[in-house]
Chains A and B, each alone.
Chain A
Amino acid sequence: MNGVVVSGVGLHPFGRFEGVSTTDMGVHAVRAALREAGVKKGGFQAAFCGTAYGGVATGHKVLSRIGMTGMPIVDVEAGCASGGAALMLAAGAIRAGQYDTVLVFGTEKMPRGIIRSSFFEPWQEEAGLAATPAFFALRAQRLALTSGVTKDHLARVVVKNRRHGATNPDAMYRKAIAAEEVLASRVVCEPLHLFMLCSPNEGAAAVVLTRERPGAAGVTLAGAVLRSHLPGAVLSESTPLSGLTDDAGPSPTTLAATAAFEEAGLGPGDIHVAECQDTDAARELLSYEEIGLCPAGGSAAFLESGATALGGRLPVNPSGGLLSKGEPLGASALGQVVELVRQLRGQCGDRQVDGARTALSHTVGRGANAGVVILTH
């Protein structure tokens, strides 16, 4: 996708913030992104706001607060990929010539505990078939059978991401953790222990996209794709009650990644740094395979090689990932994009991936919704 650049990014840290509203966090992130982009009132022609739990007109409340309304403001809900969906819509509109500059942001305050989702029918909740961690656990168990992923591998993903996150001032958990501590935390759903699951929390992120102009240097948005699921995979993020034994079709993540690589004219081997959905430790490993960062069945070996740790060939989740940052649904995808833009600009200090020129962001969740964004510099 030539012609769209990221001219500014902003973030409200991810965590729990008593007395700070969804609107407050959105304002914080939006102001920072607009300031960085040098965009003032009247300087953007549309705004897209990712949120899942924010409620009616979340985007309007943020932009009303800073006196910037009148343009179309559209709230976008695509589960964990809400920010990716908003980016795709904004970039497409710029590319089509509809707008020159678009504000994209996400803001969220998640309920505490296991996420309650209106996606499920009341009887599914009543019968215990709406237990999100159980679906993660079933996927992890299948990954053990297809890819040789052990509990030690799952713990190792957590150790890696928490080590990365320890140097990220915007993360919720900023303390490294040992594999023994991960494995000593309580079992939520076998084989997943508590510390292998990310925490739903609060935060906001914002990005200003602008049509590329001659002589303007910056990070290019090379691809931004959202995809839903094809039916058939019983453990797909579409969370069906049944699937087929013959389920060899592509996952939503594979569909989105394939289209994003095509849009960017790049392949998995060209990526220097990635942020991947690590709602649970097994999900990160599955993402390696579904995106094509490693061969199918090869995620455990890829992790063991050290390739995805800082200093490796393809660091994944240098921000610490959702396992360190926590997950505010509407803001999580844009949080990844903010991190990757800063990585490509060389602004990440101790967690900087040296010489990174290409980056990939991946989010996937209920719907199914999978978002893949590719950035180049």
Chain B
Amino acid sequence: MVRTGLFTEGDPPALLGSRCASCGTHHFPRHDTCPYCAVEDPEPVDLSPRGTLWAWTTVTAPPPGYRGETPYGVGVVELPEGIRVIARLTESDAGALEVGQSMELRIVPLHTDDEGRTVVTFAFAPEGAP
């Protein structure tokens, strides 16, 4: 896992977020203080694994520190909790995606680390995609 505390690997998986009891906003990643109203200790919540595509692009050259394959997709997915999340996309062909498309969370292999272990991360895939 690329970093603990970001997501669960259940079926379905979930992004680990938080919700402010005071202003009602949701956050990702999980915060210990609400970034909107500065109230402490928002409640931990699992975010919805489904959303709609809001923006997307394809990264064609490896950025500094990147350990996965190129090209790869990056996009913004709107979740029903009223938040937009930046994530990798399993689809790297920008022409194959459209705004408002239904997307679902997947946990996908990112790279193999120096000890030969598969490192996984979160990504969104078009709903029902293989």
The complex places the Cα of A4 from the Cα of B86 at a distance, in Å, of 43
Contact A134 B64, beta carbon cutoff 8 Å: no
B74: chain A residues within 8 A (beta carbon): 128-129, 131, 134, 138, 189
B58 adjacent to chain A (CB < 8 Å): yes
Range class of the A interface residue count: 35 or more
The complex places the Cα of A239 from the Cα of B75 at a distance, in Å, of 13
B43: chain A residues within 8 A (beta carbon): none
B75 to chain A, nearest CB (A): 7
Contact B64 A116, beta carbon cutoff 8 Å: yes
Contact B66 A128, beta carbon cutoff 8 Å: yes
B63: chain A residues within 8 A (beta carbon): 114, 125, 128, 130-134
- Among A115, A123, A142, max chain B CB count under 10 A is at A123
Closest to B47 in A: A242
B2: chain A residues within 8 A (beta carbon): 123, 126-127
Closest to B4 in A: A123
Closest to B94 in A: A190
A184 to chain B, nearest CB (A): 15
From A95-103, A243-251, A259-267, the one touching the partner chain is A243-251
Contact A126 B66, beta carbon cutoff 8 Å: yes
The complex places the Cα of A246 from the Cα of B99 at a distance, in Å, of 17
A187 adjacent to chain B (CB < 8 Å): yes
Interface Cβ pair total, 8 Å cutoff: 120
A94 to chain B, nearest CB (A): 34
Assuming the A-B contacts A123-B2, A131-B74, are A242 and B28 also in contact, with contact meaning beta carbons closer than 8 angstroms in the complex?
yes
Closest to B29 in A: A241
The complex places the Cα of A235 from the Cα of B27 at a distance, in Å, of 15
- Among B86, B110, B119, max chain A CB count under 10 A is at B86
B87: chain A residues within 8 A (beta carbon): 129
B121 adjacent to chain A (CB < 8 Å): yes
Q: Among B55, B66, B82, point to the contact of A142 (Cβ < 8 A).
A: B55
Contact B65 A116, beta carbon cutoff 8 Å: yes
A301 adjacent to chain B (CB < 8 Å): no
Contact A141 B55, beta carbon cutoff 8 Å: yes
Q: Among A114, A125, A145, point to the contact of B99 (Cβ < 8 A).
A: A145
Contact A129 B86, beta carbon cutoff 8 Å: yes
The complex places the Cα of A187 from the Cα of B61 at a distance, in Å, of 10
The complex places the Cα of A173 from the Cα of B60 at a distance, in Å, of 24
Contact A125 B66, beta carbon cutoff 8 Å: yes
A244: chain B residues within 8 A (beta carbon): 25, 36, 82-84
A241: chain B residues within 8 A (beta carbon): 28-29, 85-86
- Among A128, A188, A247, max chain B CB count under 10 A is at A128
B76: chain A residues within 8 A (beta carbon): 138, 234-235
A218 adjacent to chain B (CB < 8 Å): no
Contact A122 B59, beta carbon cutoff 8 Å: no
Contact B86 A189, beta carbon cutoff 8 Å: no
Assuming the A-B contacts A128-B72, A138-B56, A189-B57, are A245 and B78 also in contact, with contact meaning beta carbons closer than 8 angstroms in the complex?
yes
B78: chain A residues within 8 A (beta carbon): 245
From residue 157 to 182 of chain A, which have CB atoms closer than 8 A to chain B?
A: none
Contact A188 B60, beta carbon cutoff 8 Å: yes
B85: chain A residues within 8 A (beta carbon): 234, 241-242
B106 adjacent to chain A (CB < 8 Å): no
Contact A187 B25, beta carbon cutoff 8 Å: no
Binary contact readout B11-31 vs A (1 if CB under 8 angstroms, 0 otherwise): 000000100000001011100
Binary contact readout A98-123 vs B (1 if CB under 8 angstroms, 0 otherwise): 00000000000000011110001111
Contact A127 B29, beta carbon cutoff 8 Å: no
- Among A121, A125, A126, max chain B CB count under 10 A is at A126
A292 adjacent to chain B (CB < 8 Å): no
Which residue numbers of A lie inside 8 Å of B, CB to CB? Answer: 113-116, 120-123, 125-134, 137-138, 141-142, 145, 186-191, 231-232, 234-235, 240-247
10 shortest interchain CB distances as A-B pairs:
A125-B65, A116-B64, A137-B57, A123-B3, A131-B63, A242-B28, A234-B84, A190-B94, A231-B35, A138-B55
Which residue numbers of B lie inside 8 Å of A, CB to CB? Answer: 2-3, 6, 17, 25, 27-29, 35-36, 55-68, 72, 74-76, 78, 82-88, 94, 99, 110-111, 119, 121
Given contacts A128-B62, A133-B59, 16 further A-B pairs with CB under 8 A are: A123-B3, A127-B68, A128-B63, A130-B64, A131-B66, A133-B63, A134-B74, A138-B56, A138-B75, A145-B99, A189-B58, A231-B35, A241-B29, A241-B86, A242-B17, A242-B29
20 residue pairs of the A-B complex, CB under 8 angstroms, read A115-B64, A121-B3, A123-B3, A125-B66, A126-B67, A126-B68, A128-B66, A128-B68, A128-B74, A129-B86, A129-B87, A130-B64, A132-B63, A189-B60, A189-B74, A190-B58, A234-B86, A241-B86, A242-B84, A247-B84
